[in-house]
Amino acid sequence: EKGGYEHFMLKEIFEQPKSVHDTMRGRLLLDEGVIKMAGIWDHVERFKNANRIIIIACGTSWHAGLIGEYLIEEYARIPVEVEYASEFRYRNPIITDKDVVIAISQSGETADTMAALKLAKEKGAFIYGICNVVDSSIARITDAGSYTHAGPEIGVASTKAFTAQLTILTLIAFKLGKHNGNLGNAEFMSLIAELDAIPKKIEEVLNTTHELTQNIAKDFVKATNFLYLGRGYNYPAALEGALKLKEISYIHAEGYPAAEMKHGPIALIDENMPIVIIAPKKGHYDKIVSNVQEIKARKGKIIAVVNKGDRQVSEMADYVIEIPETSECFSPIVASVPLQLLAYYIAVYRGANVDQPRNLAKSVTVE
């Protein structure tokens, strides 16, 4: 059932060209130039007239939510807040019937997310679900939603569900932006053409980085700490990269927005600190270059995720992972793949049980 792979996690990482494609299938109709999502379309006025969208989730799904905030604010210009379900439910949040809540949950069973939704529902908010498990508790309590068609995710560390969540959030942002006039037709058409090509780019990244990430992983088996840095859309991708590493390898890792480094974490950097930097060409590249210079000056070990043909960051890096170029909004999907592989191989070389890490459960049904 692992399809020849040693672990479910590796199988699921490799399924991503297909799972992202399946998530878009029937929704992204490139030839007609439309995005078809019944759940959004049937309630489009709720979205259009929303005071704001509140995204509620936990863990990896919360990271997807942060990227959703960037997407929806940029393309649909609707204000978005992203909340940890466990914090939201206990802080007496202000919710009105003009709010739209988007819940993101792979399992659809996360207790805190469920409780937060019940609260939002009581206050009259419209609830939209992005779940992977069909007919799960969260899917059932929502007013409408879109399933991620990632297929069953068995590995405890979420991989293909995450990229499928990003795919849905991208479709929602583009659909709403097109509808409310914030996303012009020409840009819409070029974005959806690019989105359509993402499964191929994931395939390419899997092929070009699989061996490379294994080799890099060998050098970090004994590491005790890691920093992950990114800016813009890739800041949440850095958080997710760090979470993947810590949950399966038990190495302490932190994700940070690259510019926040100088407000504290830079104190940690010396020749023993590995730092993963996500620095594709599109999206604050020049700013990232100067962040990398600051790290280099302190002799941090730099693992850089860059676009093919990159020079400036690559010259300073100890390890270079190349990914194909995409618009900034798609780069977390592509950049996450080698970070999943890196975390996977570091954990495997440390002898950890990657599919079932200690202390973790696939669905967290207690708060």
Q: Write out the catalytic residue numbers.
A: 362
Residue choice 19, 86, 113, 209 for contact with ligand F6R (CB under 6 A): 113
Which residues between 196 and 255 bind ligand F6R (CB under 6 A)?
243, 247
Distance CA 80, CA 134 (A): 26
Name the one range near ligand F6R by CB under 6 A: 13-21, 153-161, 250-258, 331-339. Answer: 153-161
Instruction: Evaluate the CA torsion angle 93, 94, 95, 98 in order and state its sign.
Output: negative
CB of 279 to ligand F6R, least distance (A): 24
Nearer to ligand F6R, 247 or 322 (CB): 247
Nearer to ligand F6R, 59 or 199 (CB): 59
Tell whether residue 142 is a contact of ligand F6R (CB under 6 A): no
Residue choice 182, 208, 356, 363 for contact with ligand F6R (CB under 6 A): 363
CB of 111 to ligand F6R, least distance (A): 9
Tell whether residue 291 is a contact of ligand F6R (CB under 6 A): no
Nearest to 133 by CA among 61, 71, 38, 210: 61
The DSSP line for 271-303 is TT-EEEEEE-STTTHHHHHHHHHHHHHTT-EEE
Tell whether residue 136 is a contact of ligand F6R (CB under 6 A): no
Nearer to ligand F6R, 146 or 158 (CB): 158
CB atoms within 10 A of CB 185: 9
Tell whether residue 364 is a contact of ligand F6R (CB under 6 A): yes
Residue choice 9, 20, 58, 245 for contact with ligand F6R (CB under 6 A): 58
Question: Which element (helix H / strand E) includes 8?
Answer: helix 8-14
Query: Could you give the strand order of the β-sheet that contains 52-57, starting from the edge strand earlier in sequence?
Result: 80-84, 52-57, 99-105, 126-131, 144-147
Strand partners, 230: 257
CB of 108 to ligand F6R, least distance (A): 7
Distance CA 215, CA 348 (A): 12
Q: Which burial class, exposed, middle or buried, applies to 237 when counting CB atoms under 10 A from its CB (0-12, 13-18, 19+)?
A: buried
Distance CA 334, CA 324 (A): 8
Which residues between 70 and 109 bind ligand F6R (CB under 6 A)?
105-107
Nearer to ligand F6R, 62 or 256 (CB): 62
Tell whether residue 340 is a contact of ligand F6R (CB under 6 A): no
Distance CA 66, CA 80 (A): 9
Nearer to ligand F6R, 60 or 213 (CB): 60
Answer yes or no: are the C-beta atoms of 6 and 150 closer than 8 Å: no
Name the one range near ligand F6R by CB under 6 A: 59-67, 212-220, 221-229, 296-304. Answer: 59-67
Tell whether residue 352 is a contact of ligand F6R (CB under 6 A): no
Nearer to ligand F6R, 117 or 192 (CB): 117
CB of 245 to ligand F6R, least distance (A): 11
Distance CA 174, CA 76 (A): 7
CB of 37 to ligand F6R, least distance (A): 20
Answer yes or no: are the C-beta atoms of 252 and 296 closer than 8 Å: no
Residue choice 39, 59, 177, 199 for contact with ligand F6R (CB under 6 A): 59
Residues in contact with ligand F6R by CB under 6 A are: 58-61, 105-107, 110, 113, 156-158, 243, 247, 363-364
